[in-house]
Structure 1
Amino acid sequence: MAMDYKNGAKEIVENIGGKENISGMTHCATRLRLNLKDDSKADTSTIKQIDGVVNIVNKAGQYQILIGTDVPKLYAEMEKLVGDEKTDTSASANNERSSKGIVNNIFSAVSSIFAPLLPALAGSGILRGLLLLFAQLGWLDETSGTYQILTVASMSVFYFLPVLLAFTSAKRFGADPFISVLIGASLLHPDFIAMMGDVGNGATTTFLGIPTVLMNYNSTVVPIILAILVYSYLYKWLDRKIPETLKLVVLPLVSLAIMVPLTTIAIGPLGVYGGELIANLVNWLIEESSVLAGILVGGGWSVLVSLGIHWAVNPIMINNVATYGFDYIVPFTFACNFATIGVALGVFLKAKDRDIRNFSMTGVVTISLSAIIEPLVFGLLVKNKKLFLAQIIGGAIGGAYLGLTKVYTNAFVFGSVTTFPAFVGENTANFINAMIGLAISFVAATILGFIFARKDEKLVSD
C-alpha cells in the first residue's frame, strides 16, 4: 500500500518538534534530510512507526528519514507544511549548524547540490552506454543523424553541468538561482570559449588590465560551486543594501558585472586546478593500488550509505566522468550493491519466516532494478552484524577483482542490472570483467548470507 504523503508529512512535522524546529530541509534519492534546531525534540521511535518510513539516521549534521524512491512526493507535502523558506537550508540555517562541524556541513551541502541532478546524470549515462553498445553491434552508424542527435541528448547534461550546478548551488547557498544560472552560462558562451583560440586551457587575456587565464569550463564541477558560494554572500549583501525600487535592475546588473569577471579571473581557474588535483590524487591512488581501493570501496560503501555520508565521494565520480569520460570508483559501488543482493538471496533461501523471505526478495528486485540498497541495509544488515559482515566481504572480494582488472564505467550511475550499459566501451574486456566481478560479489555474498542466516531468522522491527 502506497504511503499517504499528506498525512505522513503532517505526522513527521508533529513529531519532529513542529515546523519551528526545522531550520532547513532537502532530500536526496531516498531520504528526507532535515536540519533540526534541537534534535532532542524529535520523537524518533514514533516517527519510525509512521507508514512509509523505513528508518531514521541522525548523522552528518542531518536528521535523515529514509523513505525510498517516492521521497520527492513526501517532500512536496512537507514544503506545504513547513514553508518554502525552510527548504533553502542556507543563510541562518548554516549559522545554526555551524556548531555541528564543518565536515557535517560539507556533507549536507554536497547532498543538496547533487541530489536533484542524479536522475538526469543517470539517465544520460545509460543512454550514452546504449549508444556505444548499438554502435559496436552495428545497429547504429556513428555518422548517422540518429546517432549524433542521441549523442547530443546523452552528453548535454555533462557539457552544461556548470549551469545545472549553478541552480542547485544557489538553492543551497541562498543566492538568486536565475542570476546564478547566468553566471554559469557565461562560462560556456561561444564567444568566451572562442577567446581561447587554438591555445585552449591556459590562454591569457586581460580584464581592466588584470591578467586573466582562460579555461574551458564545460563539464566542470568545482569552479561553479565555489563561484555561487561566493556569490551567495554578495547577493545577500546587495539584497540588504539596494532599495526595493532599484533591485529589479541594479541587483542583477551588479551581480553579473562583478561575479562573471571575478569567476574568470580567480575563482574559475582555482576551481579547475583544485578539482583536477583532487581527481588526479584519487585516480593516482586507484592506479597505484587498485585492488586495495576495490576492497575498501566495494566492502565499505554500504557502511558509508548507512551513515549517509557516501555523498562525499559522489562528486569525485561525477567529476571524473565529466572530465575524462570514465570513472574507476563507480564499479566498486556496483560490487557493494550486488553483494547486498546476494546476502538478501541467501537469507531468502535459508530463512523460513514468511515476512523476512518476502522482505528479502523485495530487496533483491528493488536493487536489481533501481539500485536502492537502503531498505535492505537498514531493514536487515544493520540489525544482524553477521549478515552485514557477509555483505562487506562479498563487496570487498568483487571490488578487488574489479580493481585488479581496472574496470571502469563511462557514466555516473547507480549499480543495478538496468545500468549495465555503463560498462560498455571500446574495450570489450571491460564489460566481461565487470560481469565477472559482480558475479563474484553476488555469489560470495549469497553463500555467506546463507551460512550466516538462521532458519528461524525474523524480520525484527525497531
Structure 2
Amino acid sequence: MSKYTDSAKKLLELIGGSDNISVVTHCATRMRFVLNDPKKADVTEIESLDVVKGTFTQAGQFQVIIGNEVPTFYNEFTKIAGVGDTSKDEAKEAAKQNMNFLQRMVAHLADIFTPLIPALVVGGLILGFRNIIGSIEMFGPDKGQTLVDISQFWSGVHSFLWLIGEAIFFYLPVGITWAISRKMGTTQILGIVLGVTLVSPQLLNAYSVASADEIPVWDFGFAQVEMIGYQAQVIPAILAGFVLAYLEIWLRKVVPNVISMIVVPFFALIPAVLIAHVVLGPIGWSIGSWISDVVYTSLTSSFGWLFAAIFGFAYAPLVITGLHHMTNAIDLQLMGDFGGTNLWPMIALSNIAQGSAVVAMIMLNRKDKKEQQVSVPAAISCYLGVTEPAMFGINLKYIFPFLAAMIGSSIAAVVSVGSGVMANSIGVGGIPGFLSIQFGDWIPFFIAMAIAIVVPILLTFVFAKTKMGINAYQRLGK
C-alpha cells in the first residue's frame, strides 16, 4: 500500500467517483481534472485533505494542488480510480466542453502561442543581454563607450546573438503558421512553408515598405500583386494559418484517398499563399496596426496614466479567465510597429506584485507549515514570471492579498507608463523582466518594481487586520 492510497481514495470519493472523471492528467504541482459534472466535487472537503494544498478551476479544468510529489500521487490515484493516462493536449480538448464561446476562443489563441513561449523567452533574454553589452556605457578610461565598442569579442557576440533574435522575432510568422497547423491537426510542414512565404527574402521587408520608392509586384498580366513581406506580423500569419488549415481539412473530406497525397497539399498550399498575399496580408496588417496604434496611443496620451492604472489593476483577473493570452499578440505587434512594447513592463510588474503579496502571507502565516509548502515555491515562481500557483494557491484563497497585489500593480503600472518605460521584447516575467527593458528606462522601471514589491506587502499586512482579512481567516478556520 502506498502512503497516498488513503488520500487518493478519499479524493476520488469527494470528486464524485470515477464516473465523474472525463479526463485527468497532472503538471509539475497539480492534478488536472475535466469533470463531467463539476458541481459534484466537494471543494471544501477536498481542500481539507492533508495532501491537498488548494484547488481552483481554470480553462474548464478543476485543478488540485498537491505539490512536488504529484507524479507519485497521480500514479496511485489513476490506479485506484481505474482511469487511463492522458496527455495534456487531450485534457485541454476535453476541458473545452466546460467552456463558453469566449473561453474557447481564448483557449485557441493560447494553443497557438503556448508552443512559441520558450522561443519568445529565449529571444527576450537574448535581446536583453544585447541591450546590456551594446547600450550600457562604461566608466573610467572607457567612459562613454560600451562593451561592444571596446571589445572585438563582445562585438562579435552582439552580432552573433542577433542571428538568433532575428530568427525568433522577424520570422515569427513561420512559428505561428506551424503552431496553427499543429493545433488543427493538419500537415505541419505545409504550415512552415506557408510561414516562409510570408517572410521570404524575395519579398520587400515589412520594415522597408514605408521608405520604399517602389514596391515590387508579381505581374500576372490582368492583375498585379505587391511583393510585401510580413516580418514580425502576427495577425496576417494567424489568418493565413487558419485558411490553410481549413482548406486542408475540407480537401481531405472531398478528395479520394488514392490521390489525396498529391492533390490535398497542392490545392491547399497554393490557394492559401495566394489568398494570404492578395487579401489576408493587407487586411491583417491593417488590423494589427490599428490595434497596436490604439494601445500605444492610449498609453502615451495625456490619459495614459488612467489606461495604465486600469490595465495594472485588471491584468491579474485576466490571468484567471485566460484572457491574458491575448496580450502576447498585442505585445508582438507593438514590437513590430514601434520597435518595443510599453505593455510588457506592466505585465512583469503585475507578476512581481502577486509574488510580493504571497511574501506577506508567508510572514503572516509563518507558523502554518502546510501553507508554507505552497506559499514559498509559489512566491519564487511568481517572481520568475509564473503567477498561477501564487494566485490560485494563496492570494485568491484569502482574497485580500490578491486585492493588495492588484492595487500595487496598478500604482507601479502608472509609474512605468508615466515614465515612458519600453521593453525591447517580451521575455521572462517578474524580476528578471528588467533584462527586456530598454537600458535608458531601467531606473524608472526599478522604481516601479520597488513599488510592486513594497506596496502589496504593506497593503496585505493592513488588510489582514481589517474586517476583510479577519473574515478570510475565519472562513478558512484559522
TM above 0.5, one fold?
yes
Q: Does 1:170 align with 2:181?
A: yes
SS in 1 for 2:165: helix
Q: Does 1:443 align with 2:458?
A: no
Q: 2:421 aligns with which of 399, 404, 407?
A: 407
* TM superposition shift of 1:15: 7.2
| TM-score of the superposed pair, with normalisation by structure 2 | 0.78
Aligned-partner residue type, residue 320 of structure 1: L
Aligned-partner residue type, residue 232 of structure 2: S
Q: Structure 1: how far apart are the matches of 2:327 and 2:359?
A: 28
Counterpart in the other structure of 2:377:
362
Q: Which has the larger radius of gyration?
A: 2
State whether residues 408 and 452 of structure 2, in contact with CA within 8 Å, keep that contact through their aligned partners in structure 1: yes
Q: Does 1:298 align with 2:312?
A: yes
Number of residue equivalences = 439
Counterpart in the other structure of 1:324:
338
Q: 2:166 aligns with which of 140, 155, 168?
A: 155
Q: Structure 1: how far apart are the matches of 2:185 and 2:309?
A: 39
Q: Structure 1: how far apart are the matches of 2:344 and 2:28?
A: 17
1:261-340 → structure 2 map (5 Å cutoff)? 261-288=274-301, 289-340=303-354
Counterpart in the other structure of 1:129:
128
Q: Does 1:217 align with 2:230?
A: yes
Question: Which structure has the higher relative contact order (CA within 8 Å, separation 6+)?
Answer: 1
Aligned-partner residue type, residue 421 of structure 2: V
Aligned-partner residue type, residue 63 of structure 1: Q
Aligned-partner residue type, residue 134 of structure 1: I
1:13-412 → structure 2 map (5 Å cutoff)? 21=22, 38-40=36-38, 43=41, 45=43, 55-59=55-59, 62-63=60-61, 65=63, 81-82=85-86, 86=90, 89=93, 101-137=100-136, 138-141=146-149, 144-193=155-204, 199=212, 204-207=217-220, 209-288=222-301, 289-355=303-369, 356-357=371-372, 359-368=374-383, 370-412=384-426
Q: Percent identity?
A: 22
State whether residues 317 and 412 of structure 1, in contact with CA within 8 Å, keep that contact through their aligned partners in structure 2: yes
Q: Structure 1: how far apart are the matches of 2:89 and 2:448?
A: 46
* Worse overlay, 431-440 or 282-291: 282-291
* TM superposition shift of 1:187: 1.7
State whether residues 175 and 228 of structure 1, in contact with CA within 8 Å, keep that contact through their aligned partners in structure 2: no
Q: Structure 1: how far apart are the matches of 2:28 and 2:248?
A: 29
Q: Which runs of 5+ in 1 are unaligned?
A: none
Q: Which runs of 5+ in 2 are unaligned?
A: 79-83, 137-145
- Label 1:140 to 1:307 Cα distance change in 2 as closer, same or farther (>3 A): same
State whether residues 292 and 330 of structure 2, in contact with CA within 8 Å, keep that contact through their aligned partners in structure 1: yes
* TM superposition shift of 1:119: 1.6
* TM superposition shift of 1:208: 6.3
* TM superposition shift of 1:292: 1.2
Q: Structure 2: how far apart are the matches of 1:191 and 1:304?
A: 41
- Label 1:206 to 1:26 Cα distance change in 2 as closer, same or farther (>3 A): farther
Q: Structure 1: how far apart are the matches of 2:462 and 2:334?
A: 38
Q: Structure 1: how far apart are the matches of 2:30 and 2:113?
A: 14
- Label 1:263 to 1:47 Cα distance change in 2 as closer, same or farther (>3 A): farther
Counterpart in the other structure of 2:444:
433
Give the root-mean-square deviation of aligned CA atoms.
4.2
* TM superposition shift of 1:160: 1.5
Q: Structure 2: how far apart are the matches of 1:358 and 1:83?
A: 27
State whether residues 402 and 437 of structure 1, in contact with CA within 8 Å, keep that contact through their aligned partners in structure 2: yes
State whether residues 200 and 215 of structure 1, in contact with CA within 8 Å, keep that contact through their aligned partners in structure 2: no
- Label 1:33 to 1:185 Cα distance change in 2 as closer, same or farther (>3 A): farther
- Label 1:334 to 1:443 Cα distance change in 2 as closer, same or farther (>3 A): same
Aligned-partner residue type, residue 244 of structure 1: N
